[in-house]
Structure 1
Amino acid sequence: MTSPAPVARPSPFHEQTVLWVRHWTDSLFSFAITRPDDFRFRSGEFVMIGLPGEGGAKPILRAYSIASPNWADELEFYSIKVPDGPLTSRLQEIQAGDTVLMGKKPTGTLVLDALTGGERLWLIGTGTGLAPWLSVARDPDTYQRFRHIVVCHTVRNVEDLAYRDFWTREIHEDPLIGDEARAQLIYYPTVTREPFETAGRITDRIKSGDLFTDLGLTAGFSPERDRVMLCGSMAMIKEAGELLETYGLKEGSNAEPGDYVLERAFVG
Structure 2
Amino acid sequence: MHQPIIDRSQFTESAALSVETITHVHHWCEGLFSFKITRPASFRFRSGEFVMIGLPGDNGKPLLRAYSVASPSYDEELEFLSIKVQDGPLTSRLQHIKVGDPIYLGKKPTGTLVTDALLPGKRLFMLSTGTGLAPFMSLVRDPEVYGMFEEVFVVHSVRNVTELAYRELLESRLEGDPLLEDEDRAKIIYVPTVTREPFRTQGRIQALIDDGRLFEQSKGPQRFVPDEDRVMLCGSMAMIKDHAADLEARGFEEGANNKPGQFVIERAFVG
Residue number among 53, 59, 81 corresponding to 2:57 in the alignment: 53
Instruction: Name the counterpart of 2:269.
Output: 266
Q: Does 1:71 align with 2:74?
A: yes
Q: Does 1:232 align with 2:232?
A: no
Instruction: Name the counterpart of 2:39.
Output: 35
Cα deviation digits, residues 138-192 of structure 1 (max 9, x gap): 0110011111100000000011101100101261221211524431101001100
CA RMSD of aligned residues (A): 1.6
Instruction: Name the counterpart of 2:7.
Output: none
CA distance in structure 1 between the aligned counterparts of 2:199 and 2:184, rounded to whole angstroms: 24
Three-state SS of the structure 1 residue aligned to 2:29 is coil
Identity of aligned residues (%): 58
Q: Is the 8 A contact 2:68 2:80 kept in 1?
A: yes
Which piece of structure 1 moves more, 64-73 or 240-249?
A: 240-249
Q: Is the 8 A contact 1:124 1:152 kept in 2?
A: yes
CA distance in structure 1 between the aligned counterparts of 2:94 and 2:101, rounded to whole angstroms: 10
Q: For structure 1, list consecutive stretches of 5 or more residues without a partner in the other structure.
A: 1-7
Which piece of structure 1 moves more, 111-120 or 237-246?
A: 237-246
Change (3 A) 1:10 1:233: closer
Three-state SS of the structure 2 residue aligned to 1:95 is coil
CA distance in structure 2 between the aligned counterparts of 1:233 and 1:244, rounded to whole angstroms: 16
Residue number among 192, 197, 200 corresponding to 1:194 in the alignment: 197
Change (3 A) 1:94 1:245: same
Residue number among 1, 9, 16 corresponding to 1:12 in the alignment: 16
Change (3 A) 1:257 1:39: same
Change (3 A) 1:238 1:68: same
Question: Partner amino acid for 1:32?
Answer: K
Aligned length: 260
Shift of 1:59: 1.4
CA distance in structure 2 between the aligned counterparts of 1:182 and 1:41, rounded to whole angstroms: 23
Shift of 1:214: 5.5
Question: Partner amino acid for 2:210?
Answer: K
Instruction: Name the counterpart of 2:165.
Output: 162
CA distance in structure 2 between the aligned counterparts of 1:170 and 1:229, rounded to whole angstroms: 19
TM-score for the superposition, normalised by structure 1: 0.93
Instruction: Name the counterpart of 2:187.
Output: 184
Q: For structure 2, list consecutive stretches of 5 or more residues without a partner in the other structure.
A: 1-11
Point out the structure with max Rg over C-alpha.
Answer: 1
Residue number among 25, 29, 33 corresponding to 1:21 in the alignment: 25
Three-state SS of the structure 2 residue aligned to 1:173 is coil
Q: Is the 8 A contact 2:69 2:135 kept in 1?
A: yes
Change (3 A) 1:170 1:115: closer
Q: Is the 8 A contact 2:129 2:236 kept in 1?
A: yes
CA distance in structure 1 between the aligned counterparts of 2:192 and 2:256, rounded to whole angstroms: 27
Q: Is the 8 A contact 1:47 1:107 kept in 2?
A: yes
Residue number among 217, 234, 249 corresponding to 2:252 in the alignment: 249
Q: Is the 8 A contact 1:172 1:178 kept in 2?
A: no
Instruction: Name the counterpart of 2:224.
Output: 221
